[in-house]
Amino acid sequence: MKANNYDIHFDVCNLFFELVHDKKVVGFAAFIVTQPSAMTLSDTFVLPEFESQSLLLESFLMLMGSGANISILKPARNVVEFLIKNNFAAKLTDSIVTSAISFDMLGEDIISNFNLKEFTPSTNLYDLNLCSPIFLYDISTPGVCEIFYQDALDFDDKKYNCREFRDSVNMDEYFNEIKESFLKNSDEFNQKLFDLKSSLPKSLLDYDEIIGEGDELSDYFEQMVEDGITDRKTVVRIRNQLKNEYENGYVTDRALALRVSFLLNEDENIAEINKIDDINMQFDTFCPYCHSQVSPSNPHCMTCGYSIDETNILSLRDIKK
Ligand SMILES: [Zn+2]
């Protein structure tokens, strides 16, 4: 790893996968659990000669199959290339990529002229020239072009000379071009992202697995009671609520597992959401169920799993009432 300039971002993780080729370990992927049913790929490395093999795919499919929502912290460009190759992401322009799997940036690495403290934006966009996720903070106010990106990784710089690129262009002009492109093509770009998200592998924990037939509890819920995660009364209440929501189109198979983990600790989760203040505002649209910020490009709320669309999504004014 040293020879390839790969620096570990975090030295702790919750889930560790060895990437194996021909019975030999040739890389790894480390994930941190950030929320119930949400994992961030914090570090991954694979020997250069195996990069084209998509060895990360197995861990992604396994986590998605279990209903987890994956994001990637400070992705290196080769990880973004992996996403494109496996239809998790697609190019919008020659250099801008949109990804169904979101990218997280750390406040300390973010570059912007905006006063950012404790701000850890999540974005679905990546710029292949800069080798960085980009977060369009404000491009819709006339005359404003606020775009955040992150420090170059040594690992990327060695391969793609992204620092040289950053030094060689006028960044204001470069970002203005991105802004114009997004303002001109916003419908098409949003649709692309929506389509990518809709075609992500589905959770294997679907309606049959979680809710099941008739009045009897599914094995999924029975196991929860047996493991002492919660009591039977709570499980029955959650099951009935989900059944009702499913029948009325408020939750889909894809989000059921996420919704179960949210409802299991609903009071604590709502209290967490209420703590988030305005400085962390990434979207000005909100989930009708839990009131957390949601991107309109998501088919469901990433916090509570409730389905969202233009008919039920809330605005800031609805929330402040
Ligand atoms: Zn929600």
Q: Are residues 72 and 156 in the same domain?
A: yes
Q: Are residues 168 and 241 in the same domain?
A: no
Q: Are residues 171 and 55 in the same domain?
A: yes
Asked whether the beta carbons of 312 and 260 are under 8 A apart, the reply is no
Close Cβ partners of 217 (under 8 Å, ≥ 6 residues apart) = 225, 232, 235, 236, 239
Nearest C-alpha neighbor of 35 from the set 273, 316, 227: 273
Confidence of residue 118 (pLDDT cuts 50, 70, 90): low
The string of pLDDT tens digits covering residues 222-252 is 999 999 989 999 999 999 999 999 999 999 9
Question: What dihedral do alpha carbons 305, 282, 160, 2 form, nearest 10°?
Answer: -70
Q: Are residues 173 and 193 in the same domain?
A: yes
Nearest C-alpha neighbor of 60 from the set 266, 218, 203: 203
Question: Helices 232-247 and 253-264 meet at what angle, rounded to 10?
Answer: 140
Query: Where is the domain boundary, 264, 291, 311?
Result: 264
Q: Which two tokens stand for residue 42?
A: 């914090």
Query: Where is the domain boundary, 198, 213, 230?
Result: 198
Write down the pLDDT at residue 73.
Answer: 93
Distance 70 CA to ligand 1 centre (A): 17
Classify 99 as helix, strand or coil: strand
Q: From the DSSP assignment, how many helices (H) and strands (E) are in the chain?
A: 11, 12
The string of pLDDT tens digits covering residues 191-202 is 999 899 988 888
Write down the pLDDT at residue 242.
Answer: 96
Asked whether the beta carbons of 130 and 74 are under 8 A apart, the reply is no
Q: What is the number of structural domains in the chain?
A: 3
Write down the pLDDT at residue 282.
Answer: 66
Distance 278 CA to ligand 1 centre (A): 17
- Cα separations in angstroms, 273 against 47, 87, 119: 40, 32, 16
Q: What is the pTM of this model?
A: 0.81
The string of pLDDT tens digits covering residues 142-172 is 888 889 999 999 999 999 999 999 999 999 9
Q: Are residues 118 and 215 in the same domain?
A: no
Distance 208 CA to ligand 1 centre (A): 23
Distance 145 CA to ligand 1 centre (A): 29
Write down the pLDDT at residue 214.
Answer: 83
Nearest C-alpha neighbor of 26 from the set 53, 6, 7: 53
Distance 293 CA to ligand 1 centre (A): 8
What are φ and ψ of residue 125, in 5° steps?
A: -110, 145
Q: Are residues 254 and 294 in the same domain?
A: no
Write down the pLDDT at residue 4.
Answer: 75
Distance 262 CA to ligand 1 centre (A): 9
Distance 50 CA to ligand 1 centre (A): 39
Distance 99 CA to ligand 1 centre (A): 21
Query: Where is the domain boundary, 198, 214, 242?
Result: 198
Q: Are residues 153 and 214 in the same domain?
A: no
Confidence of residue 281 (pLDDT cuts 50, 70, 90): low
Q: Are residues 287 and 215 in the same domain?
A: no
Distance 273 CA to ligand 1 centre (A): 9
Distance 308 CA to ligand 1 centre (A): 9
Q: Are residues 90 and 123 in the same domain?
A: yes
Distance 147 CA to ligand 1 centre (A): 27
Neighbours of 100 (CB within 10 A): 22
Write down the pLDDT at residue 134.
Answer: 95
Beta bridge pairs of residue 91: 97
Distance 171 CA to ligand 1 centre (A): 36
Position 15 pLDDT exceeds 60: yes
Question: What dihedral do alpha carbons 105, 3, 156, 19 form, nearest 10°?
Answer: -60
Distance 290 CA to ligand 1 centre (A): 4
Distance 306 CA to ligand 1 centre (A): 5
Distance 246 CA to ligand 1 centre (A): 15
Position 116 pLDDT exceeds 80: no
Q: Are residues 23 and 136 in the same domain?
A: yes
Distance 276 CA to ligand 1 centre (A): 14
Distance 268 CA to ligand 1 centre (A): 13
Give the percent of the chain with pLDDT over 70. Answer: 94
Q: Are residues 307 and 249 in the same domain?
A: no
The domain of 158 spans 2-198
Distance 298 CA to ligand 1 centre (A): 11
Position 81 pLDDT exceeds 90: yes
Q: Are residues 239 and 141 in the same domain?
A: no
